[in-house]
C-alpha cells in the first residue's frame, strides 16, 4: 500500500532577510525540523524571492546535484568552471558540484524581483568532475502533459544528474486526469504544486502544497483548476 506524507505550504520554514524572502520545504540553514530533513535523495526544495539587483555572493558546494528553476524573472550565474550565464523563466539549470565548485547567483534585473525554486539532490557518485547544464523548456509541450526536465541519462530528454532521479513539470487545464508510472522500483515521488489545485491519489493539494508518495509504482493526478502547474520529482528512497 502506498505510503504518503503531506507537506502543506503554510507549514514550510520561512525567513525574510529583506533582500531575500525564502520558504524551506526541508531543514536548511538555521531552519530545522527533525521531521523534514529530506525525502529520500531529495535534500532541499527552497522557494526564493530575490530583490532587484541582489543575490548570493560567491560560495562553495560539493557532492550535490543542484537544480534551479526560475518561476519569474532572470538569474545571473557565474562559477569557477568559467560559466557566466542568465537563467530565465522558461529555462532550467543543473550543476553537479562533485569534487567542488564555487558560484554566485544574482537577480539579473535592476527593477524586478526574481522568483525561483532551488532543489538539491544527493548524488549517487562522490567527487565527480563538476559539470554545468542549462536548457530552455518547451513550454508548449507542458500543456496537459508531464514534460521530462531531468533524468539520470545524458542521452535522454532534458538535463541529467548523477542520481536515478527524474523530474517532470506540466501545466494543465481543469478536469484533466493523468497517471504517472514510477521509473524505478524503490523510488518515491515528491509532488509539488507550483500553482493551482490538484488531487493526487485522493489528496487535495493547492498552491505550494506537496505530497510525498512511496511503496507504490504509480500515482493518479487530477486537476481542479484551469492553468494549474505541477512539479514531480522521483528520487531513490534509499541511497548511499
Confirm whether residue 59 is marked as ligand binding: yes
Q: Is 61 annotated as a binding residue?
A: yes
First-to-final CA distance of the chain: 25
Cα–Cα distance measured from residue 191 to residue 213, given in angstroms and rounded to the nearest whole number? 8
DSSP for the chain, written as a single string: --EEEEE-GGGSEEEE-SSEEEEESS-BTTB--TT-S-BTTEEEEEEEEE-TT-EEEEEEE-S-EEEEEEEESEEEEEETTS-EEEEETTEEEEEE-TT-EEEEEEES-SSS-EEEEEEEE--SSSSPPPEEEEEE--GGGGBTS-EEEEES-TTSSSEE-SSS-EEEEEEE-TT-EEEEE-SSTTEEEEEEEEES-EEETTEEE-TT-EEEEESSSEEEEEE-STTEEEEEEEEESS--
Angle at 96 between CA 83 and CA 125, to 5 degrees: 150
Any binding-site annotation on 162?
no
R_g of the chain computed on alpha carbons: 17
Residues belonging to the binding site are 59, 61, 103, 105
Residues belonging to the binding site for Fe cation are 59, 61, 103, 105
Amino acid at each position: 500500500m502506498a505510503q504518503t506524507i503531506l507537506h502543506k505550504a503554510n507549514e514550510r520554514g520561512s525567513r525574510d532577510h529583506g533582500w531575500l524572502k525564502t520558504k524551506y520545504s526541508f531543514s536548511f540553514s538555521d531552519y530545522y525540523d527533525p521531521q523534514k530533513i529530506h525525502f529520500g535523495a531529495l535534500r532541499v526544495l527552497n522557494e526564493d524571492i530575490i530583490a532587484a539587483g541582489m543575490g548570493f555572493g560567491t560560495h562553495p558546494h560539493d557532492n550535490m546535484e543542484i537544480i534551479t528553476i526560475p518561476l519569474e524573472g532572470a538569474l545571473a550565474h557565474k562559477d569557477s568552471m568559467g560559466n557566466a550565464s542568465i537563467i530565465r523563466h522558461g529555462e532550467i539549470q543543473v550543476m553537479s558540484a562533485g569534487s567542488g565548485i564555487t558560484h554566485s547567483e544574482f537577480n539579473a534585473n535592476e527593477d524586478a524581483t526574481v522568483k525561483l525554486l532551488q532543489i538539491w539532490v544527493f548524488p549517487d557518485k562522490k567527487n565527480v568532475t563538476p559539470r554545468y547544464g542549462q536548457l530552455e523548456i518547451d513550454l508548449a509541450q507542458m500543456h496537459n502533459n508531464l514534460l521530462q526536465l531531468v533524468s539520470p541519462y545524458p542521452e535522454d530528454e532534458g538535463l541529467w544528474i548523477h542520481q536515478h532521479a527524474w523530474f517532470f513539470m506540466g501545466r494543465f487545464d481543469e478536469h484533466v486526469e493523468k497517471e504517472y508510472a514510477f521509473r524505478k522500483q524503490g523510488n518515491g515521488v515528491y509532488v509539488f504544486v507550483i500553482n493551482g489545485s490538484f488531487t493526487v491519489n485522493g489528496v487535495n493539494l493547492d498552491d505550494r502544497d506537496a505530497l510525498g508518495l512511496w511503496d507504490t509504482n504509480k500515482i493518479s493526478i487530477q486537476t481542479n483548476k484551469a492553468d494549474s502547474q505541477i512539479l514531480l520529482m522521483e528520487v531513490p528512497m534509499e541511497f548511499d
